[in-house]
A and B are shown apart, each in its own frame.
Chain A
Amino acid sequence: MVRYVVRRLVYMVPVLLGTTFLIFLAVYALPGDPVQAIAGPGQAVAPAVRAAIVAKYHLDDPLLQQYLAYMGRLLTGDFGTDLNGKSVGALIAASWPVTVKLGLTAWVLGGLLGVLLGTLAGIRSGGFLDTSVLAGTTLVLGVPYFVTAYVAKYVFAVKLGWLPPSGVSDGWPLSYVLPAVCLAIFLVPEIARLTRASVLGNLQSDYVDTAIAKGLGRRTIVVRHVLRNSLLPVVSVLGLSLGYLISGSVLIEGIFNMPGLGFAVFRGIAQHNGATVVGIGTLLILVFLLLNLLVDLLYGILDPRIRLV
């Protein structure tokens, strides 16, 4: 087990190197002029100033050299400074909690609701609830992200005034409920459908007959026997979806004006702030890889047939 974890951590190194290099490359290839972006659009930049900025940020160095220098600093915990001279590390430290709170809230909400709906639909397949879940999830999947978010914001924050419309000044949970629900809504269909199919399949397994033959009640059979088996595939999707929720909250953070990581990346791209984008990108990749490892470890605990060696 320990050896397995160590090996997986070692495997992360090349993955991390490769992916960060790709992000670095993408930022490098962004159209536009970073020096111009600092000065502001339409502002004339004196050649001497330009030369100084280029020298300061090593903008003329070969790509590989820039990358290696950056990675070297990263190893010492230094995320570098953006083109405004602010520390990217400080930016991450400030925006990280917002994104984690938003992502986790959405994840728990979406996961619970998805599993609940999927299980109920599965044990009464073909019934009213099953059909409603199918119709509801299709509807949710059909409406674009931002439409749902704007409508929800308008109805619950502006019209009804139940919740704050933007920002995080009211703290958790008040400020996070609406954006988290909007984010969670897109997790529910996937989890619900996967759970439903899994429950339905497991209900037909022989071990359910054995459980019935023992004289167990239906609820015990569903919860203890069927659900335990049905959740195995759901766990792996849930684990990875937390990564997606955290990295995919860019739009929701934008709509609800939440100063999180997604928001910072969005601004970083707009301002050609390579250090911001690469820094946060690297962090998100790391989170993703660690979540992946966690899911695999959890799988080993939930399914005794899987041995991690």
Chain B
Amino acid sequence: MTDALLSVRDLRVQFRTRRGPVTALDGVDYDVYAGRTLAVVGESGSGKSVTARAIMGLLPRRTSTVTGGRIMLGGRDLLSMSKSARQAVRGERIAMVFQDALSALNPVLPVGFQISEGARKRRHLDRRAARQLAVDLMDQVGIPAAKARVGAFPHEFSGGMRQRVLIAMALAQDPEILIADEPTTALDVTIQAQILRLLTDLQAQRQMGLVLITHDMGVVANTADEIAVMYCGRIVEQGSCGAIFESPAHPYTQALLDSIPRPELRGTLLPAIPGSPPDPAHRPSGCSFRTRCPRAFAACVDEPPVVRWLEDPRVGQPPPAAEPVPAAGQRLSACHLCVRAEPNGAGTAGGGAIGGGAR
């Protein structure tokens, strides 16, 4: 296994609200590898975007604080870097594609200018070189007549084309890691598939680490190498795409998979997860999913579940604190059931709880 490009470790974020501090991230761990796609899935409010924004340094400074954890990039912790060192990472090493391309583009500047703007400054490109770079990138992301449209403004493009502009912009400085935050949510279904294909193609060509944030399990199936399922500010299950789709270990993951429309379900009501995610300010005791979990039992109320290995040889054991993220072929899950399923399950083994306690 090669080393991860980016490692998020025990990341904790709090938001200050009028009702007091609210925990948005409660110990998130994930790794991003070169040439691989990590899909981060979960409902709105689960902390997918907050994690991404924390990595980019885009959390609102006035209302949020990173209360713990590390974000390691090439052996250095982004969170303890100076402002200027952090700025040098953005765009150049980690780039981001946003959800709503219309509002994410500056309405009064030509798209070509916006695409090459970051590279122009960093690589000291002159006007012509910058323009050429923009045209090349627009070609690469499949914008027709790039040469003619490089001077056009965002409002002159369709939604799908705007998303391509945003992707071109993110690629401008050859980043090692690309974070795509629900890049297809604002698009038509037909366009969604095109944009996803584009992202995965580019990822493969450039051997980037891609973090694909989505709430659509269907999107994940064809694109992801690894999956991290988030719920209420924590990762509840993590592992390879194939393994998770084959045998989801966490009831939440199972419920998410059950709610993907399938041909054989035609005519029946699509299963949905009852209720809505808990208010992060009033988390349930124990496991935060227990209020909606069809298989909740007594222990779920009392004890927050611990993250555990699922595959041999360490079935049911809490992962060592040093490497809480699964290597290829390994899985992690945070659910009491995952322990009980084992014949010699030791009940609630303590220690190494990276999920932390619910308060």
Binding site for B on A (CB under 8 A): 205-207, 209-217, 220, 224-225, 228-229, 232, 302-305
The segment out of B117-125, B266-274, B321-329 that lies at the interface is B117-125
B205 contact set on A, CB distance < 8 A: none
Q: Among the listed A207, A212, A213, A302, which residue makes an inter-chain contact with B106, where contact means beta carbons less than 8 Å apart?
A: A207
Q: Among the listed B153, B155, B169, which residue makes an inter-chain contact with A214, where contact means beta carbons less than 8 Å apart?
A: B169
B349 within 8 Å of A (CB atoms):
no
Q: In chain B between 97 and 123, which residues have their CB closer than 8 angstroms to a CB of chain A?
A: 98, 100, 103-110, 114, 117-118, 121-122
Q: Among the listed A215, A232, A302, A303, which residue makes an inter-chain contact with B118, where contact means beta carbons less than 8 Å apart?
A: A215
Q: Among the listed A205, A206, A215, A303, which residue makes an inter-chain contact with B87, where contact means beta carbons less than 8 Å apart?
A: A215
Asked if B166 and A210 sit within 8 Å, CB to CB, the answer is yes
Binding site for A on B (CB under 8 A): 56-58, 87-92, 95-96, 98, 100, 103-110, 114, 117-118, 121-122, 153, 155, 166, 169-170, 172-173
A210 to B165, CA, bound (A): 12
Nearest 9 Cβ contacts at the A-B interface = A215-B91, A214-B118, A206-B103, A215-B90, A304-B153, A214-B91, A207-B106, A213-B96, A206-B104
Q: List 11 A-B contacts (CB under 8 A).
A: A206-B98, A209-B58, A210-B98, A210-B104, A215-B89, A215-B90, A215-B122, A217-B87, A220-B121, A302-B108, A303-B108
B100 contact set on A, CB distance < 8 A: 206
Q: Contacts A225-B109, A228-B109: A304 and B91 contacting too (C-beta < 8 A)?
A: no
A92 to B114, CA, bound (A): 50
Looking at B89, B96, B104, B153, the one whose CB has the most chain A CB atoms below 10 A away is B104
Q: Contacts A206-B103, A206-B104, A229-B106: A213 and B56 contacting too (C-beta < 8 A)?
A: yes
Asked if B107 and A229 sit within 8 Å, CB to CB, the answer is yes
A232 to B106, CA, bound (A): 13
Asked if B103 and A216 sit within 8 Å, CB to CB, the answer is no
Asked if B118 and A216 sit within 8 Å, CB to CB, the answer is yes
Asked if A215 and B169 sit within 8 Å, CB to CB, the answer is no
Asked if B104 and A209 sit within 8 Å, CB to CB, the answer is yes
Give the distance to chain A from B152, nearest Cβ to Cβ, in Å: 9
Q: Contacts A210-B105, A305-B153: A216 and B121 contacting too (C-beta < 8 A)?
A: yes
A212 contact set on B, CB distance < 8 A: 56-58, 90
Give the distance to chain B from A306, nearest Cβ to Cβ, in Å: 10
Asked if A213 and B153 sit within 8 Å, CB to CB, the answer is no
B169 contact set on A, CB distance < 8 A: 210, 214
B172 contact set on A, CB distance < 8 A: 214
Q: Among the listed B95, B96, B104, which residue makes an inter-chain contact with A207, where contact means beta carbons less than 8 Å apart?
A: B104
Q: Contacts A214-B117, A216-B117: A229 and B108 contacting too (C-beta < 8 A)?
A: yes
> Residue of A at shortest CB range from B106?
A207
Q: Contacts A206-B100, A215-B88: A304 and B155 contacting too (C-beta < 8 A)?
A: yes
> Residue of B at shortest CB range from A213?
B96
Give the distance to chain A from B82, nearest Cβ to Cβ, in Å: 13
Q: Among the listed B89, B98, B104, B108, which residue makes an inter-chain contact with A304, where contact means beta carbons less than 8 Å apart?
A: B108
B89 contact set on A, CB distance < 8 A: 215
